Amino acid sequence: MRETINKSCCPNCGTATTSKDGSMTTEEQQLRIENAKLKAEVEKLRTAIGKYPPGAASTSSCSGGNDQENRSSLDFYTGIFGLEKSRIMEIVNQAMEELKKMATAGDPLWVRSVETGREILNYDEYVKAFSVENSTNGRPKRSIEASRDTGVVFVDLPRLVQSFMDVNQWKEMFPCLISKAATVDVICNGEGPNKDGAVQLMFAELQMLTPLVPTREVYFVRYCKQLSAEQWAIVDVSIDKVEENIDASLVKCRKRPSGCIIEDKSNGHCKVTWVEHLECQKSTVHTMYRTVISSGLAFGARHWMSTLQLQCERLVFFMATNVPTKDSTGVATLAGRKSILKLAQRMTWSFCHAIGASSYHTWNKVPSKTGEDIRVSSRKNLNDPGEPLGVIVCAVSSVWLPVSPNVLFDFLRDEARRSEWDIMSNGGPVQSIANLAKGQDRGNAVTIHAMKSKENSMWVLQDSCTNAFESTVVFAPVDITGMQSVITGCDSSSMAILPSGFSILPDGLESRPLVITSRQEKSNDTEGGSLLTIAFQILTNSSPTAKLTMESVESVNTLISCTLRNIKTSLQCEDG
């Protein structure tokens, strides 16, 4: 079985799963982003030649729209795609005012749900409170998603503001939600180290950790503003004319004023109020994910907020120098601890990047003897030292299980029960080499396992993450000698690693009675089931020119099917 799995799969059989409305290739999408950037440059040059008076001094102020002197000087920069920069500043300032009201108002604008305890936007009150333009004229029917969440994060305010304004840091902060992001144009640089008043046009491709849910592409203007000595705000808003000039065919999702109010609570803490307000083109959604998407959970404020808290907590544990012994077993030095945590973070980021519906991947449905919906994609790694060189195949399947997310997460990360589902362990014992905490919840940890069989021994690096919305268990076999050097503190950036793992979401049906739990006497009748995505990545051949075979397809099918069957058997939720 292991020899078969070490071969591979052919992604070229089965029907392609790209949607009718036209997912595009990575190359096409990249060309569109580059085209948008070039358009922005052309607009700037055209303005400089035609409107900017010779010898006039430029202004760094973008205080936006209220002052006539500022307005006339801003117009010399007339900016992007036919919109005066002063008009853009008016729009983002209006959006900022709306965000502040949306973040602070209570009843009747926001009503708390009796069933779920979550806040729901009263749309009639919203229309009364804000001058809402009908932006759906001549467009397909759209759905409105609005949500709000508040929490405390362990990070200082300047670092948090920078994480939103630097597109690469922003993308790394939310790997489970952002598959692609780019700054298309900087409209205003802002002032000071925290870029007060900065405005930039951005693109993002938003994903779920499954190929079954299409990504959401959105262009928006992001505005950063200091509201007081202790308070900042980041607001995102889509602007019709800007979007249409980039590519009207791409606009499937728009941001109404969304973002967060950040309040400095000193001692490296911030209170964040997050508002997410989207207007999305209605489209068919896989039945399994319909509830979690239509309820606004999948792309809502709670998901963003929970991810932000998790990532900031991880950073605190990464930087800590006074780690209790119980939170860092098996690793003698801080350098070794940091090196392992950094490797685990890269592994999980790679996993999130590999399993979504992004145009990075072409997913193909492959036939399964046992009825699972399995999707396969392949890619060639020519020169990235962080992954094995050669042809890599990723196989993914998503299923609903009548088990609470907490029970499923605890089962999958438990080394004592790993042999119940992991075919590669051959039913043998799993020994813990190291265990590093990276959060207050004991489920947020990085572990190194040793698996011993008659033939050989193997080490597996595992990164488990959990927050209020989502959990992941990501793992990869690692070279024992290489891992031993990482434990001593050596740099792990060039260590090749190919992650597999699980993503766990609530199904969105909180009122559904719990069918199975490991502790029957503590059963919670309001808890729903889980949406489990299982993914395996395999190096099929170290030569990028190698061919993929049908035998390889069957081996990956078998690996996914057997693992799912083992999980269902262990949790007593077999079909039928």
pLDDT of residue 138: 52
What CATH number is given for 320-570 in this structure? 3.30.530.20
Nearest to 497 by CA among 518, 517, 515, 482: 482
Q: One fold for both 29-314 and 320-570?
A: yes
Which one of 3.40.50.2300, 3.40.50.300, 3.30.530.20, 3.60.20.10 gives the CATH number of domain 29-314?
3.30.530.20
pLDDT in tens, 246-267: 665 555 789 999 999 999 998 8
Cα 329–Cα 330–Cα 332 angle in degrees, nearest 5: 95
Under 8 Å between Cβ of 476 and 498:
yes
Residue 360 has what pLDDT? 82
Is 463 strand, coil or helix? strand
pLDDT for the residue 525: 45
* Residue 101 region by backbone torsions, left for phi larger than 0, else alpha for psi between -120 and 50, else beta: alpha
**What are the b/e assignments for 242-266, b being 16+ CB within 10 Å?**
bbebbeeebbbbbbbbbbbbbbbee
Q: Which two tokens stand for residue 420?
A: 């119940």
Would you kindly state where each structural domain of the chain is located, as residue ranges?
Answer: 29-314, 320-570
What residues have CB less than 8 Å from 453, skipping those under 6 apart?
Answer: 425, 426, 428
> How many other CB atoms are found less than 10 A from the CB of residue 569?
12
Q: Where are the beta strands (DSSP E) in 98-215?
A: 110-112, 119-121, 142-153, 178-188, 199-206
With residue 262 as reference, give the H or E element that holds it.
strand 258-264
At 421, list the tokens: 């589902």
Residue 289: its pLDDT value, please?
Answer: 93
Query: Which residues does the chain have with pLDDT short of 50?
Result: 1-23, 48, 50-61, 63-77, 511-526, 576
What is the C-alpha to C-alpha distance for residues 357 and 217, in angstroms, rounded to an integer?
12
CA quadruple 374, 378, 384, 389: dihedral positive or negative? positive
- Determine the Cα–Cα distance for residues 425 and 435; give it in Å rounded to an integer: 19
Answer yes or no: are the C-beta atoms of 9 and 538 closer than 8 Å: yes
